[in-house]
A and B are shown apart, each in its own frame.
Chain A
């Protein structure tokens, strides 16, 4: 593995320096430490290494670098019927990196003013409120395929209603780092409230100036299986023992995830307690609803809390390439396109489809996302695959104002491509005259479409191409022909799993072995 240790060392040195600078002073509380996102809370308040998670980028800004598209996030909780927290955030990837803006507000009312009567403390009958808020400006960017950095400028505002000179305002900075040594492993490091108190502090109307305590988070996420995620964070703060957080997420179904976690919390300079967390996540298309229950072991009845998050993440299809004319004949070496590999932050060394992805991307046959990722394991919809293939051969098509299918709006971006693919008989609709454009393409559907796209004739199935593909399976002819044509080499010796959703990496691998692309690459 080609790790640039100089880069890593430099970044860690910066963080360490900031840490040393910020140790000396600190008293004001950063309300973002309550945790952002019900998913993170359910996983034991882990979030340092949630690469591309819309909630986690407000804890470790480097998580923003891999955000796949425009995302909105929100959270609400009421802690012990004493204080309400509301959070709302938005982030979007651009060519320069991902930018985000977020607001966290907390409020509590019913603080009783008091006096002394007959030697006894009594209420005056007057009460006042408390508010605390943080405005976050976030930036994250991949500086290498396996390395991302980020920063989060935080503006604090606090105050008590009707109490004179009781407002305070200030700012501080979070720095973050994400390192992806393997596809299954992500390591995150976040230094929250990095700036020394001599620079960044909260200034109160009373004249008091308070530093904001730093907190260092070191975290990792690991995917032992496709649908299992393990997460762990280690927190270090001055005057506190190390606090460990951990959680596990099981993606039971595509739309359902179950989570559980443990959250250690310091209770003094030398002691900590462990609290329990659990939650569920529901996905519907681009919408995500997460719920977490936080069980407090000190005061379970009072301090246990519910967290609710609603997020919307526009997983925009990756920008499609402009068509490149297909060479009429095999190009001479001089006429061959200059092969320039294009790497992606989430396609690490050793990834099984790294070669095809980078070669096809280098020729602009496929593209990644603006934030430098390819999302190789992301599934692909019928509309996306159809549009990709039609564009490769025909280029951009304009909307025609008509659609062959009742569930495809004529104004839908993929409508002309779907109609053209149907016209070429690469793909068909369903008997009820629907196309189900947002439906994920299965392996069987994908290889059938790809075979028709590449003029591969349906084969007579004399022997099972894969042990799990029966002779009479509707796509057996295409699977067999595509297997003989080499499009399915990556599955040699394995099951075909015809119903499994096709991934973007598989599309690249299949495309790479088509006659069409081979011609473009100058290969036979």
Chain B
């Protein structure tokens, strides 16, 4: 009988693992990963390589059956879905000073120890068990909700989780708050170098607030070759992550020649961000 139960348990575990095999989504902050764990089973691939992937961060529970079989839990908790005001956050992003932080802290093997798990803002840690309304941690769904109250400047937020089997994990995000005017962060073009013959490029940047934005593209002798304007609140001018497409054609009606180009993100006549673009066909 025990053997049958174990067999059924293993089959269930295998079924679950086909749906939740995503490694911790590493911080997408220009390459720096800030997820850490004390368990070597944790996958570090972090790549969005499966159609099943979501932006959530889950532990690989392929060891679940083994844990059941062995009766021990050596898998750390997973921390993911780190968002502020519903948007995923990477290092150096701007967030609102009173933004609502949400994240998922889960452990499928053991329960999360809310006394030993915490959210730390600039070194001041609060145990999940000590959260008071409107802040909360829902142990069933693993959802952490935390109302931020940040001043202007750079802030370090650390989510630390420990399960009842004493496995731990943490996730760090460095974010910025700036209420002095429009600012841009994490401005990139994909791909870089960009070949216009292969389709459109994706120009991405993150804004700290809604703002009228103008993108100016200059060539290597500082001649303006392309310009687009995005009203406040629209894609290109909204608070948070913005992404627009460029087909590589200049306002002179020509495909941009190979060389260096400099994109300036401008609001209110001031440059708030820039991207160095390589065109290579």
Contact = CB atoms under 8 A, between A and B. Distances in A.
A110 B276 contact: yes
Interface stretch (B1-9, B29-37, B174-182): B29-37
A123 B274 CA distance: 14
A490 interface: no
Contacts of B252: 239-240, 266, 268-269
Given A168-B258, A206-B281, A118 B222 contact: no
B281 A208 contact: yes
B21 interface: no
B274 A82 contact: yes
B276 A111 contact: yes
B265 to A, nearest CB: 11
A125 B27 CA distance: 13
Chain A interface category by residue count:
35 or more
Contacts of A300: 269
B277 interface: yes
B164 interface: no
A160 B28 contact: no
Of B55, B223, B259, chain A has the most CB atoms within 10 Å of the CB of B259
A111 B257 contact: no
A340 B179 CA distance: 83
Of A29, A121, A122, A206, chain B has the most CB atoms within 10 Å of the CB of A121
A130 B259 contact: yes
A299 interface: yes
Given A132-B260, A208-B281, A269-B251, A121 B188 contact: yes
Nearest to A109: B276
Contacts of B192: 111-114
Contacts of A121: 188-190, 202-204, 243
A241 to B, nearest CB: 10
B31 A122 contact: yes
Contacts of B262: 80, 82-83
Of B188, B189, B264, chain A has the most CB atoms within 10 Å of the CB of B188
B241 interface: yes
Nearest to A239: B252
Contact of B221 (A33, A120, A240): A33
Interface residues of B, number: 58
A303 interface: yes
A31 interface: yes
Interface string A394-415: 0000000000000000000000
Contact of B31 (A120, A123, A208): A123
A269 B221 CA distance: 17
Of A29, A79, A128, chain B has the most CB atoms within 10 Å of the CB of A29
A298 B243 CA distance: 23
A115 B190 contact: yes
Contacts of B255: 27
Interface string B241-257: 10100000001111111
Given A123-B188, A296-B222, A117 B47 contact: yes
Nearest to A272: B224
B235 interface: no
B220 A118 contact: no
B216 interface: yes
A106 interface: yes
A108 interface: yes
Contacts of A122: 28-31, 90, 186, 188
Contacts of A112: 30, 188, 192, 275-276
Given A34-B221, A112-B192, A299 B280 contact: no
A301 to B, nearest CB: 6
Interface in B182-205: 186, 188-193, 202-204
Of A83, A123, A210, chain B has the most CB atoms within 10 Å of the CB of A123
A204 B281 contact: yes
Contacts of B251: 267-269
Nearest to B276: A111
A117 B278 contact: no
Contacts of B188: 112, 114, 121-123
A114 B274 CA distance: 14
Contacts of B270: 301
A113 B190 CA distance: 8
A189 B109 CA distance: 81
B31 A267 contact: no
B243 A299 contact: no
Given A123-B30, A130-B260, A82 B204 contact: no
Contacts of B31: 122-125
A163 interface: yes
A116 interface: yes
B228 interface: no
A239 B222 contact: no
Nearest to A302: B271
A491 interface: no
B143 interface: no
A111 B262 CA distance: 10
Contacts of A210: 257-258
B266 interface: yes
Contacts of B189: 114, 121
B219 interface: yes
A128 B48 CA distance: 25
Contacts of B257: 27-29, 210
Of A120, A266, A305, chain B has the most CB atoms within 10 Å of the CB of A120
A431 interface: no
Interface string B224-246: 11010000000000000101000
A158 B258 contact: yes
A123 B88 CA distance: 16
A266 B216 contact: no
A19 B122 CA distance: 65
A108 B278 CA distance: 11
10 contacts: A26-B254, A33-B221, A82-B262, A82-B274, A111-B278, A122-B31, A266-B223, A299-B271, A302-B264, A305-B222
**Nearest 4 pairs of A and B residues by beta carbon:** A125-B31, A27-B257, A121-B204, A268-B251
Given A121-B190, A265-B223, 9 more contacts: A33-B223, A34-B220, A117-B25, A118-B25, A119-B48, A130-B260, A132-B220, A163-B278, A298-B224
